[in-house]
Amino acid sequence: MAKLVLPDTENDVTPKPLFLNRRTIIKSAGAALLASAAPSILASQSAPSWLSQKISNTVFRGVTTDEAVTDQYDATRYNNFYEFGTGKDDPAKYADEFNPYPWQISVEGECDAPGVLSLEDLIVSKSLEERIYRLRCVEAWSMVIPWTGIELGSLLKRFKPNSRAKYVVFESVVREEELRGQRDRFSFIDWPYVEGLRIDEAMHSLSFLAVGMYGEPLPNQNGAPIRLLVPWKYGFKSSKSIVKIKFVESEPNTTWNLANPKEYGFYSNVNPNRPHPRWTQATERRITGQGKIERIPTQMFNGYDQVASLYEGMDLKKFY
Ligand SMILES: Nc1nc2c(c(=O)[nH]1)N[C@H]1C(S)=C(S)[C@@H](COP(=O)(O)O)O[C@H]1N2
Ligand SMILES: [Mo]
């Protein structure tokens, strides 16, 4: 974490209203101030202008929280994105080796209207919303991040999943030339990075596809140009840089479950009562910025109780 500590120019955490204010101020003050006030996020500068504009014009906030929002600096410098390497600072360090635009997503499997769509096809006609979500990594750190995007379910419906569509699989990008983690022959991950949800989880209104964060297009290190957010599950379920969505009939194999089935289950709902075999999940280290880290209790479903009905009658220690 030491690398993330900024010069102590601001006190403690920036409360949300101040954060939002600052963003408005930064925006209206033009590029020069932007460059000095916020460390530049070069990766997002390759995003097409229609996308930047659509994101920065988004005013509707669908979901929010009273908690302090994590500084943009930290949320874009301390990442897990093994395609760039396993170090927390690898994704930001190597982000500009990846050129996500133009982008296509293929939607296939058990559905009546499969297709290959460009990012424009998916996003242009939709109205975006901002959602401030807690992100709880299975490693027991967490952040609070404002994302811009669309509900996953609203997008999935368009492809008309059929009655055999019981699960949805998400595949991340494979580009060995651009993603140095995929060139690493000692990598324990069999690329692509694959994740999945049960169809009712995918259709839940909290499941979200983001194209932006902090009012800007996603930086490459955070999963440009489009990534999933499933805020009641451990962070690794929130796949980055998605190229394929597939409707399937049976529970799919997923990257972390394959890597270590005892430690990482298919469901991976945030659960303070089920310790990871090597550490407790009862608490987490909340990263807010300026080097401030607070140890706080972890909440069941990461505090998103509205999903509890999805798991009625299931033993969540068995289906971890
Ligand atoms: N394709 C892909 N998606 C991924 C990962 C990854 O390594 N590859 N890491 C996951 C993990 S472990 C976490 S905690 C979150 C981190 O998201 P962030 O870096 O935007 O905070 O991304 C998830 N999505
Ligand atoms: Mo994670």
CB contact at 8 A, 61 and 128: no
201 touches 232 (CB < 8 A): no
User: For a substitution probing ligand 1, which of 73, 189, 240 has the most ligand atoms within 8 Å of its CB?
Assistant: 240
Contact 139, 298 (CB under 8 A): no
Closest residue to atom 23 of ligand 1, CA basis:
236
- Class of the domain covering 10-311: alpha beta
Look at residue 36 and tell me whether its pLDDT is greater than 50. Answer: no
Confidence of residue 27 (pLDDT cuts 50, 70, 90): very low
pLDDT tens per residue, range 154-188: 999 999 999 999 999 999 999 999 999 999 988 98
Is 172 annotated as ligand-binding? yes
What is the rounded CA–CA span in Å between residue 117 and residue 139? 34
pLDDT at 189 over 80: yes
Band (16; pLDDT cuts 50, 70, 90): very low
Q: Whose CA is nearest to atom 12 of ligand 1?
A: 236
Q: What pLDDT is recorded for position 2?
A: 34
State what percent of residues in the chain have pLDDT above 70. 86
Q: Considering every ligand atom shown, identify the ligand nearest to the alpha carbon of residue 221 and give its number.
A: 1
- Report d(CA 243, CA 251) in Å as an integer: 20
| Nearest ligand, measured from the Cα of 254 | 1
Q: Is 83 annotated as a binding residue?
A: yes
Q: How far apart are CA 137 and CA 117, in angstroms?
A: 30
Q: How far apart are CA 137 and CA 237, in angstroms?
A: 9
Task: Give 85 or 18, the one with higher predicted confidence.
Answer: 85
Cα separation values, 147 from 122, 160, 199, 206, 215, Å: 17, 26, 22, 12, 8
Is the minimum distance from the CB of 255 to ligand 1 under 6 angstroms? no
C-alpha 33 – ligand 1 centre gap (Å): 30
